[in-house]
């Protein structure tokens, strides 16, 4: 059992029977009245973010979670199959709990976050940035770098993202898996 003094970013807590990750927190000590902690909590299952204020010194239920590297193997009727790199154990995961599933490609190493006591999988995190090849986009024109204009492009995983006008088919780009945005062009893959 932890208190509000133990709160830190990335901590997982149980609140109203659901698990939340603390994304932001602020200890507030007003001149008048009792101190409190203002937090932003992200629901582990749904991904929704809520604001929650705790009075100082209140006990909170901390949940111990573990991050383990797993390699993505393939997709079948049961879901997305991952293999633990240390034990070679394979697990099947539903699409709903994979963050950035549109950018998942075979052989990719992902972090599988599990509840430490029950060993249930809470969610899967892809690397923050992945390098993907553009499989289709309209042809670019040389010199189209001055404006912030973008065009749609399909990458090798089948996802469609917005890229600058100078990106052509066959080029490799770096994509942010958190929001699906273009980061930069990569010279070699």
The whole-number pLDDT of residue 146 equals 62
The answer to whether the CB of 3 falls within 8 A of the CB of 60 is: yes
The pLDDT confidence band at residue 167, using thresholds 50, 70 and 90, is confident
**DSSP state at residue 140:** P
Q: Which of 109-118, 142-151, 170-179 has the lowest mean pLDDT?
A: 142-151
Cβ neighbours of 73 (radius 10 Å)? 15
140/153: higher pLDDT: 153
Q: Measure Cα distances from 137 to 79, 90, 116, 140, 172 in Å.
A: 29, 36, 44, 8, 12
The whole-number pLDDT of residue 110 equals 93
Would you state the CATH architecture of domain 65-125? Beta Barrel (2.40)
Fold match flag (65-125 vs 129-186): yes
Would you state the CATH architecture of domain 2-62? Roll (2.30)
The whole-number pLDDT of residue 38 equals 93
Average confidence (pLDDT) over 144-173: 85
Average confidence (pLDDT) over 144-148: 66
For the chain, give the percent of residues with pLDDT over 70.
Answer: 95
Q: Please give the structure tokens belonging to residue 74.
A: 């393939």
Q: Please give the structure tokens belonging to residue 132.
A: 């993907």
Cα 74 versus chain centre, distance: 20
Average confidence (pLDDT) over 160-164: 90
* Angle (CA) 27 44 52, round 5°: 30
The pTM of the full predicted model, rounded to 2 decimals, is 0.75
Assign a CATH topology to domain 129-186: OB fold (Dihydrolipoamide Acetyltransferase, E2P) (2.40.50)
Which residues face 3 on adjacent strands? 59
The answer to whether the CB of 120 falls within 8 A of the CB of 112 is: no
Which residues face 152 on adjacent strands? 162
Tell whether the model's pLDDT for residue 189 goes beyond 60.
no
Strand 121-125 versus strand 98-99 pairing type: parallel
Whole-angstrom Cα distance, residue 153 to residue 130? 15
Q: Measure Cα distances from 150 to 13, 137, 153, 181, 185 in Å.
A: 40, 11, 9, 11, 14
pLDDT tens per residue, range 26-73: 998 888 888 999 999 988 877 789 999 999 889 999 988 888 999 999
pLDDT tens per residue, range 86-101: 899 999 998 888 888 8
Query: Domain residues of the chain, as ranges?
Result: 2-62, 65-125, 129-186
């Amino acid at each position: 059992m932890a208190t509000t003094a133990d709160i830190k970013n990335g901590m997982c807590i149980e609140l109203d029977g659901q698990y939340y990750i603390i994304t932001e927190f602020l200890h507030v000590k007003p001149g008048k009245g009792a101190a409190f902690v203002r937090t932003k909590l992200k629901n582990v299952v749904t991904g929704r973010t809520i604001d929650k204020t705790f009075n100082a010194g209140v006990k909170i239920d901390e949940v111990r979670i573990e991050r383990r590297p797993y390699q993505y193997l393939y997709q079948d009727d049961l879901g997305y199959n991952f293999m633990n790199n240390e034990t070679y154990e394979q697990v099947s995961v539903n699409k709903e709990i994979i963050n950035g599933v549109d950018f998942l490609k075979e052989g990719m190493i992902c972090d599988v976050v599990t509840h430490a006591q029950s060993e249930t999988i809470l969610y899967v995190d892809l690397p923050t940035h992945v390098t993907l090849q553009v499989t289709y986009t309209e042809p670019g024109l040389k010199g189209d770098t001055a404006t912030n204009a973008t065009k749609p492009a399909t990458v090798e995983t089948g996802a469609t993202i917005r890229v600058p006008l100078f990106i052509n088919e066959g080029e490799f780009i770096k994509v942010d898996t958190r929001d699906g945005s273009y980061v930069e062009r990569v010279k070699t893959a």
